[in-house]
Structure 1
Amino acid sequence: MISPVFVIGDVHGQIDQLEAALERIERDDCAGAPVVYVGDYIDRGPDSRAVIETLMRGQAAGKPWTCLLGNHDDYMVRFLGPNPDLPSDGSRTRWFLPKIGGLETLASYGVDVRASESNTAIREKALRNIPQDHVDWLAGLPRVYETPDYIFAHAGIRPGIPLDHQDPEDLIWIRGDFLDDPRDHGRLVVHGHTAIDMPEHCGNRVNVDGGAGFGRPLYPVLLLGRDAFLLDPLGRVRLLPRT
């Protein structure tokens, strides 16, 4: 018997989009099935704090939600952890680059960053404003989740490497070596990380990052065995495997 699973791609601080995606899931005939989130809850969008709070509340309430760590989430964990890796030349940490979006995440927690402030000064303010349980929640997220039918990871997997020997950094960062590999991985690999116009079924993998971090809709995806369905405002749309 096929067990349905919903998947939500990279949210990137878009709380309105997340709420809309969850409403579409609730309207589907498989509502109540597990939901897997593939990471990147923060950065770029306007309300990363609300996204994290929504996910934490849902899990605390017993919802069947599995949340994976994304590379953007890891930026925050590393910056606020006990041994932050800050540039020695005084330049801003990579997390604050405009294309990354860390400053938007800090703003959602009420951290006002001035151009003249050092990384250390910004970090001290962030530690005062960001609840420790948010940091701990992110730090405790797994990088991979597997079922008999699927392997879920934020970025993907290193092809040909057993799952228990995967490099943890590959699971949140890999692109070309995974995306360009046509081989079957035994189970369908479901991932985000690489933004495209909308979720796509590639035969051996499903990319659920439809680019919400760049202003595009956050489409939830329903998995039924090897079949995948986009949930749009009118219902299910089958994602045909790309040939």
Structure 2
Amino acid sequence: MPSEPTDIVAIGDVHGKSGLLTRFLDGIDRIAEERGATPAIFLLGDLVDRGEDSRGTMDIAAKLLSERPGSQVLLGNHDEWFLRFLRDELSDAELWNWLDQGGAETLSSYGCPSDASPQTARALIKASWPHHLSILSHAPTIVLRGRFAFVHAGIDPGRPLTDQDPHDCVWIRAPFMNHVGRLSHLVLHGHTPQKRGRPTITENRLSLDTGAVFTGRLSGAWLNVDTGSITCLQASDGEAIHEIAPHRLDRGLGTALD
């Protein structure tokens, strides 16, 4: 069994911005060459919906999983919607809600005509991109490495990280975001866009969603499992990847960087 990677780059919500993800990963390759390290890439969910190229983003994810040892795609709530669509598990109300929340853009990226029935669109995607369905079907909802926990939305602070409800990992917001107090792990997550346009770090979480599909800023963090070091990074539509200082939200306990 190959050993788990020491260096990991976690990336927040991409939402179909495949070009921005490519720009970010190209920057990671340059940094990796400078550091002499090959990091695993952890995509923290919401690869699809809203942006113009969900299919391309899924293609990139497939390549990462194939070519970068130890990489992970975690399940986000929009990915779960898409997965449930492909499995024909959405009610009519859920289907129309998903389409309104970015699912229509996802189907368009797969070449589905706007007037195609759900059955036709589903059959087309499953026939031509079965590996995308496989990626989402096997995506974990939480991954633990060293002192770090990786999820899409967050965790239930009242439960051990080894006993989380997958629904919470994919959908939770206020009970996690508002929880003050150190946890067994520092939680790296997306799901909740950060209004300052840069990552936010508290005593228990590093929030990496900077609303790429709306702001043109995609954020992530390079961390080392052995040393616990964290470097926040950001790429934008008009700027190459660069280090960015996270917003330090001290709620009376310092932050995980102190």
TM-score range, shorter-chain basis? 0.7 to 0.9
Aligned to 2:112: 111
**Correspondence 1:149-160 to 2 at 5 A:** 149-160=147-158
Q: How does 1:1-243 map to 2 (within 5 A)?
A: 3-28=6-31, 29-30=34-35, 31-81=37-87, 83-87=88-92, 93-97=96-100, 100-114=101-115, 121-130=117-126, 131-196=129-194, 197-224=197-224, 225=228, 227-231=230-234, 233=240, 235-239=242-246, 241-243=248-250
Structure 1 distance, partners of 2:28, 2:170, is 25
Identity %: 32
Asked whether the equivalents of residues 188 and 226 of structure 1 are also in contact (C-alpha less than 8 Å), the reply is no
Give, in angstroms, the shift of residue 199 of structure 1: 1.6
Q: How far does the alpha carbon of each residue in 1:51-91 deviate from its partner, in whole angstroms, 9 at most, with x for none?
A: 1111112212244311101110000111110x523227xx9
Shift of 1:92: 5.1
Deviates most, 192-201 or 204-213:
192-201
CA separation in 1, counterparts of 2:64 and 2:233?
Answer: 22
The one-character-per-residue Cα deviations of 1:65-124 (angstroms, maximum 9, x if unpaired) are 11101110000111110x523227xx9521111xx100000000001123xx6xxx2232
Shift of 1:142: 0.5
Name the stretch that deviates more: 200-209 or 29-38.
29-38
In structure 2, relative to structure 1, the CA distance for the partners of 1:20 and 1:112 (3 Å cut) is: same
SS at match of 2:219: coil
Distance 2:153 2:54 in 1: 20
| C-alpha distance in structure 1 between counterparts of 2:46 and 2:149, whole Å | 17
Q: Give the TM-score, by structure 2 length.
A: 0.82
CA RMSD across the alignment: 2.2
Q: Distance in 2 between matches of 1:137 and 1:18?
A: 18
Amino acid at match of 2:12: G
The count of aligned residue pairs is 232
Cα displacement (A) at 1:155: 0.3
